[in-house]
A = this chain, B = another copy of it.
Amino acid sequence: MGARTRRGEVGVVDLARELGISTATVSRALNGSSAVRPELAQRVREHAEARGYVANRLARALSANTSRAFVGFVIPYVDTPAYSAVAAECARLLSRDGTQMILTITENDPELEHRQLRELLASRVAGLIVSPSTHILDASKQLLTSVPVVQLHRSCGIEAPGVFSDDEQAMAECVLHLAALGHRHIAYLGTPVALSNGAVRLRGVRRGIELAGLNEDDVTMSLVEPTQQNGHQATLDLLREKPTALMIGGGSLSVGAAHAVRERGLRLPDDLSLVAYGDPSWFALSEPPLTTVAVSYQALAETAAELLLARLDERHRSPATTHLIPPQLRLAGSTGPRNPGEHNGVPGGNAC
Contacts and interface: CB of A to CB of B under 8 A. Distances in A.
Interface stretch (A91-99, A199-207, A242-250): A91-99
B282 A282 contact: yes
Contacts of A228: 281
A31 to B, nearest CB: 15
Interface centre among A5, A102, A228, A284 (most CB of B within 10 A): A102
A122 B59 CA distance: 9
A69 B7 contact: no
Given A84-B87, A100-B123, A102-B101, A255 B55 contact: no
Interface string A1-34: 0001101000000000000000000000000000
Contact of A88 (B62, B70, B95, B105): B105
A74 B351 CA distance: 49
A35 to B, nearest CB: 16
A112 to B, nearest CB: 8
A65 B4 contact: yes
A182 interface: no
A215 interface: no
Interface string A30-74: 000000000000000000000000111111011001100110010
Given A57-B122, A119-B98, A122-B57, A259 B282 contact: no
Chain A, interface SS category: mixed
B92 A88 contact: no
Interface stretch (A75-83, A153-161, A321-329): A75-83
A67 to B, nearest CB: 10
B105 A91 contact: yes
Contacts of A84: 81, 84-85, 87-88
Interface string A142-168: 000010000000000000000000000
A264 interface: no
Contact of A286 (B7, B103, B146, B285): B285
A109 to B, nearest CB: 11
A324 B122 CA distance: 37
A222 interface: no
A344 interface: no
11 contacts: A56-B62, A58-B61, A78-B91, A83-B88, A84-B88, A87-B103, A88-B103, A95-B105, A102-B103, A255-B281, A285-B286
Interface of A: 4-5, 7, 54-59, 61-62, 65-66, 69-70, 73, 75, 78-79, 81, 83-85, 87-89, 91-92, 95, 98, 100-105, 107, 116, 118-124, 146, 228, 255, 258-259, 262, 281-288, 350-352
